Structures are given as structure tokens and as C-alpha cells.
Amino acid sequence: MEYKSYEKVGETVYHAVLDNGLNIYIIQKKGYMKSFACFAANYGGCDLRFKLDDGFTDTPAGIAHFLEHKMFDMPDGNALTRLSENGASANAFTSDSTTAYFFESTDLFEENLKLLLNFVSTPYFTLESVEKEKGIIAQEIRMGEDSPGRAVYVNLLNALLSSHPARISIAGTVESIAGITASTLEECHHVFYNPSNMVLCAAGDFDPQRVMQIAREIVKAPPGGMPVRDYGGPESMLPVRKLIEVNMEVSRPLYMFGAKLQPEKNGQSLYRQILAAELALEAMMGTSSPLYNKLYSKGIINGNFDYGIIDFPEVLLAYVDGEGEEYRAVMDAVFSEAYRIGREGFDKSLFNRIKKASIGGFLRSLNSLENCCISIAEGCFAGYDPMEGLDLINGITSEEAACLVSGILTEDNTALSVVNPQAGAEE
């Protein structure tokens, strides 16, 4: 086991790779009462089409999320219940690129870790439990379809993306999950939950060697082949549609507009690109920016105004969202400000304040065991080291940020999604 010290942030991360390819990362937090562990697979909602050796296999939309739900089932009970009985707070999530299972506890860390590694490594599906889960997830999907906030987001993705599977909900559709069987779940577990495609991250006051020993004893599966994923091919930087509008039960219009970025190929370069784009958007539209204050003082935006970067496999999106009737005025103001920044650059004092705030936020995030572990897992899959974020942020210049934001938010590159009130809806 090797280790790397990050002196500027006061952290040391231990790393080992087992013979079967499982990556293990451990952050030793001396004096911490709580411990956290995350066991994650490089597998998410976008991984619908893949191949190992021969031809490609197509799987139903929502299968990664469905598999996450079913992995807590064990022959002798439910893993979530057993973790709770041990005093652990446990959960899981499926994103577009990652499925992660995790727990936090103050006692019985080793017992809980063994349970985590066991149930994630050992699939247990029955015909009855799979059919029952279809009803539960179908209800979850229908509730999402009734959400205006969900609709404005999904419609923006469909306006921007031509073939990328991010257009499809991570949970799938009622029709797609109907095609999921125990055998398809077992196949996807075999392909994506092999040790070579997974990572274990733990943080707390414990012996790193002991964690590695437990993992070696429990995760005994041989290394598997790395699946080749198909995300539909390169995306044009232009939107597929400029506008998608729908009517739903809202009192005021909800809007979301955005544009695509060409992601860097190298993992660490991609991480720096994301940090730079986030910093640029914050300097351009944050609460201390001239643009925000101008729009807010005119009543064009309110406290629900937001913006950010979405990281999908092989594509990045920048977005702006809010509520109100004057979304066209917001878009025009954003385009105008992006163009001005491209010509004149950012105000240096403002940019430096935003940069210092970003550094402070990064340092505060290291106090969260959950954030540290999940960030390291996602970084391992994407090929970057999130613990180097401080150095990367420090290296981002105002000129680089200005070039980024002026090249992204242009009228030609941007699509708009709007959820309007139903006709006759009361204010």
C-alpha cells in the first residue's frame, strides 16, 4: 500500500490495488468519531449499450438504477435493515456514470464494512422480488413525470443532445423497466460490478491495512474485462432544437437554457476544465456579480436563479435556470454579458474574490467524509485526483475563465426549455 500526502490541505490518502483490480483509497482522519465507507461501480444511467468481446449489448433504460434498488436484498434479509440495526446510516445512489453504496457509523465499522462488501458483491434476485420492484419504481417514475422541475431539465437535455443517453431518465420509463428480468440484472452485475470496474473508499480513524485485509478476504471475484461503452458518438456543439415548451401546473414559467462544451480527453484536464467553467459562471452570474445585481434589482430574476456545469460521460453542459415571464430578457442579458467579458475580461478584483471563495468552499468540503470518499471514487473512474483541486483552482486565470464563458454562452449554441402555466391557471 502506498500513500500520498497533500500538504496544502493537510490530508494523506492511502492507495492499493488488489490482485483482482479493485482500487482501494483510504483517508485517515485521526481523532474522528465517525467513519464512512463507499463501495462504488463505474456504472450509471448512461451505460445502456456496451460490449466485452463480441458485439454490443443493448439494455433497458433504467437498469443501473433498478439494480441499485435490488442489491440490498440478501438471502437472509435486507442489508439496509441490518446496517441500521448496527447503528449505521446507509444509502445508495445512481448517477449518469456511477452507482455507489455507502454508510456512516460511529461504532462497528469493520462489521458494517464487511456487510457492505458482501451484499454489493453478491447479487440475489428472485422473480417475485424483481416483479414487485417494477411496481415501486414505476410509481417513482410517474411521480417524476408530474414534476415541472424535472420536465424543464429533461426537455433541455432533449433540446441539446442528439443521441447521448443522458436524454433518457436514469430511472428509465415505465415501459423500459417492464423488460428488466433477473437474468438481465445478473448480466449487468457480472459486467459492471467486477472488481476491476469498482472502487472502495473509506475515511475515518482506523488502520488502512486492516481495511485492505477485509476487502481482500471478502471481494474474491477474479478480475473482469473492462466493458466498452457506446454513448451515441460525438455531439455537435450546436443544439438539436432551439426551444421546447410545455404547459404544466405552475404559477409562473420555469425556464432552463444551456449549451454544450467539448470536454477535455485527459481526466485531470477535464477536472480542471470543470472547475474553470464553474468559476467562470460564478464570476459572471453569482450574487456579487454586476449581471446578477442588475437583473435582480429590475425584478427579472429572484432567489431561484441558478447556474452550473453538468458532467456527463463524453459531454459537458453549462446551464442557467430560474422562474418568471422575462426569460428571454435573462437570456439576452447573459449573451450580452458573455460577449462583453470575452472582449474586456473579468474585473480582476471581483474574479480574485470569487476565486478565494471557491478555494474556501473546496477546503470546507474536505471536512465531509462523504464528500471526500465519493469524490475520490468518481475521480478514480474519470481519471483525475480530486484532492488536487486546490492547486488546479489556484492555477485558473481570469483570462482563461473569460475565454471559456464567452465561447459557451452564445445565441447560436444555446437551447431553451420552458414550462408554462396551464391556460387559465391562477396566479
CA distance 250 to 419: 8
Confirm whether 68 is a catalytic residue.
yes
| CA–centroid distance for 152 within its chain | 18
- Kindly report the number of other CB atoms within 10 A of residue 349's CB atom: 8
Q: What is the CA radius of gyration of the chain?
A: 23
Say which residue the cell 472488481 belongs to: 195
Q: Do the beta carbons of residue 419 and residue 251 sit within 8 Å?
A: no
Tell me the three cell numbers of residue 140.
Answer: 417513482
For 196-235, the DSSP string reads GGEEEEEEESS-HHHHHHHHHHH--PPP-PPPEE---SPP
For 60-93, the DSSP string reads -TTHHHHHHHHTTEETTEEHHHHHHHTT-EEEEE
For 337-352, the DSSP string reads HHHHHHHH---HHHHH
CA distance 392 to 370: 22
Choose, from 11, 68, 145, 344, the residue flagged as catalytic: 68
For CA atoms 227, 231, 232, 236, the dihedral sign is: negative
Secondary structure letter of residue 289 according to DSSP: S
Which residue numbers are catalytic? 68
